Amino acid sequence: MKFKLAAFADEADSKLENQISAMVRNGVEYLEIRGVDGENVSDISAEKAREIHKKLEAYGLAVWSVGSPFGKIGIGDDFVPHLEKFKRNLEIAEILGAEHMRIFSFYVPHENADNYSEEVMSRLEKFQSAAKGSGVILCHENEKGIFGDIANRCAVIHKNFPEIKAVFDPANFIQCGQDTKAAWEILAPYVEYIHIKDALADGSVVPAGKGLGNIPYILENYRGEVLTVEPHLSVFSGFEKLEQGGELHGKYCYPSSGEAFDAAVSALKNLIG
């Protein structure tokens, strides 16, 4: 099957023009927009969103998903302003032409995560209710440290909210001690798309196919069309804000973010032919 490629191009460069250049030279047609020109996508204005859409369109590119930070707050943090910002970003997604928005299920204490299920579901229901009729598909990512960091708890989310699809991130599962084949067997029916990120047992991020992510197996059994490259192969602007723990593997650190981005895309292309 021929896949369509998306990418977190902010890992190539913080500036939109350079993100576009990285996408074009690597044959990546979709952007999973997260950081652009020094701003997180959740903070950009409607005017900025229109500018981004216009510039991407000029190169035949499009936004696949809004790589938002929504749901990436503590379960004890004030949810009201977070929800209001989420609602505003649904409008930004529409301007960008994005049909998907990546979300999370809130940081909870690791030792008793299941105890927070009711509050997590209450908050996700508010996200889903706000998104209803917007044309935006909410996609939950298995991020380490949140309620849905392992497959069984992700499944609870998707069974409660069939409208919320899954973003499957192999490296994040590895960093939680979760076997990715086992996770795939549980979550495959809910997967909307995949983040291509691999890792070693110690959590170190490596190019696709070089870690324990079982990415070839997952791709063989994946029935979707889009793969999002998320390199994490060298320190880039904002990395320390995106991850709780997890180290970059020295063997796969690159002289520049652009070269790390190119290497990540190349590794994926080698797997899919």
Q: Which pLDDT tens digit goes with each residue over 5-57?
A: 999 999 999 999 999 999 999 999 999 999 999 999 999 999 999 999 999 99
The CATH number of the structural domain formed by 4-272 is 3.20.20.150
How high does pLDDT run on average in the chain?
A: 94
pLDDT tops 80 at residue 237: no
pLDDT at 210: 96
Above pLDDT 70, what percent of the chain? Answer: 93
> Beta strand 62-66 with 100-103: parallel, antiparallel or unpaired?
parallel
What is the pLDDT averaged over residues 203-214?
A: 96
Above pLDDT 90, what percent of the chain? Answer: 90
What is the pLDDT averaged over residues 200-224?
A: 96
pLDDT at 255: 80
Overall residue count recorded for the chain in this entry:
273
Contact 67, 19 (CB under 8 A): no
pLDDT at 21: 98
Q: Give the SS3 label for residue 179.
A: coil
pLDDT at 206: 94
Angle at the Cα of 163 from the Cα atoms of 157 and 164, rounded to 5 degrees: 45
CA–CA distance, 271 with 273 (Å, rounded to integer):
6
